[in-house]
Amino acid sequence: MVRNFIIERIIENKFSTSELYSRYPHPLVGSLDLWAVNKFQNLDGGAIRAIQFRKAKKIIQFAYRNIPFWSDYFGRIGFNPETMESIDDLTKIPPVSRELIKQSSIEYSFIRTKDSIFDTTSGSTGIPFGFYYSRSTLLRRKSIYLRNLSWVGFSQNHQIVRIMTRDITGLSGVGNFVSCRGPEELEEKKLHIYRLLNQDATILEGVASSIFYLAQLMEKDSVKFDIVAVVTTAERLSQGQLSFMESVFGAKTYDCYGTREVDRIAQECLKKEGLHINSEWVYVEIVDERGNSLPFGKSGKIVITTLDNFVTPLVRYELGDRGTILPHLCSCGVSLPLISFEGRTFEQIELPDHTIIHAFEFSGLFNRFSDKILKYQIIQESIDRISVLIIPKYEFTLADQQMVKNVFENKTKHLMYVTVTVTNQVYSLPSGKTSVFINKLR
């Protein structure tokens, strides 16, 4: 009982280890916070929801009282946060899109305190977005990160190697970070990465496409390292890509779901029965196209409410992703709910008959050509036109081009005009990243 009381106090920031840590960064405070999140994951569902409700109520009331965007929004829809009685009251709030928040100035939507740090999303969703996060959330971000890695077998004897465009906020000093924007940079830094991997048994983490490319390089160079687990983020991989990576690394790969403005939302554990939601950090719901709540087991749009970052509260915020909250718990014993992530809605191709297919459905095709293709890009030019750009590694024959064209024509039910072009350049996003899929309909 006393133990549960302490866990609740820490998780609900009534005794904020994060704030304490930002003032006195003593390892003991860090251990205490990590202890609390590790205990929180085993509370029963009722206790977890009760804590989520108290945290959600506190941050929503704070937003209502202090942030013009949210006072105006709640006023407009006739929602009074002061009267919230259960977490289900959130369903009275229509979801808020990234575009809606972006239309307003940052001063109108968020709060800047001396504690706030400015950051932006990379714009891989097509909508770059600036926001703040509070320095006092850094310790909690780190605790959740370490807990997530412990789900895939991380222990004191292992090192962490992260390969990403920018490092995850709050993780400086945790593991080894290698900055990498794409295949060219990965190739340049290859030897440095090999040296790191050679040091110790490793948990390897990074953006899916970079990690996949690393596997290709390692296979070419016939090198092996002691890799315990691989955690990939941000992009979906095909089954073929996954099996290839697992054979090269000699380790299983696990999915992590997160975004820059929310950080780590969910991650798979060793059982791979779904992604456990970091429920003390974020409240996740699934809604239909009109914003109505969907029950567990139904697929729809993911909306989230952040529970800790008071300088950028996000309430029923649409991330542009699709998923399902699973109706069962994981057999690993962690009681945090499971979500399956089904891809980003901006990766959808809309056919002239208005059916939707996901761009990642073509990753299997490109995987078969992985020895011939350096990079590819799919562009939906209009409702009935699709272009495929291919930067070849070696010769990409007319027969290869025809095969790509056939697969695209079949998958799009012969409703679209498909062109396949061999080129030496694909379109880049302002961040310098190249997106596999561009939808000009949006």
Residues near Zn ion (CB under 5 A) are 269, 271, 330, 332, 334
Smallest distance, Zn ion to C-beta of residue 42, A: 11
Residue among 87 and 269 whose Cβ is closer to Zn ion = 269
Smallest distance, Zn ion to C-beta of residue 268, A: 8
Residue among 326 and 332 whose Cβ is closer to Zn ion = 332
Asked whether the beta carbons of 258 and 148 are under 8 A apart, the reply is no
CA–CA dist 381, 300 (Å, integer): 26
Nearest to 166 by CA among 194, 136, 132, 206: 206
Smallest distance, Zn ion to C-beta of residue 383, A: 42
Smallest distance, Zn ion to C-beta of residue 224, A: 28
Smallest distance, Zn ion to C-beta of residue 53, A: 24
* Cα four-point dihedral sign 419, 424, 430, 435: positive
Which residues 6+ apart lie within 8 Å of 402 measured at CB? 420
Asked whether the beta carbons of 58 and 255 are under 8 A apart, the reply is no
Residue among 234 and 336 whose Cβ is closer to Zn ion = 336
Residue among 250 and 333 whose Cβ is closer to Zn ion = 333
CA–CA dist 37, 311 (Å, integer): 22
CA–CA dist 435, 235 (Å, integer): 10
Smallest distance, Zn ion to C-beta of residue 12, A: 24
Residue among 228 and 269 whose Cβ is closer to Zn ion = 269
Asked whether the beta carbons of 293 and 303 are under 8 A apart, the reply is no
Asked whether the beta carbons of 32 and 17 are under 8 A apart, the reply is yes
Which residues 6+ apart lie within 8 Å of 295 measured at CB? none
Residue among 129 and 151 whose Cβ is closer to Zn ion = 151
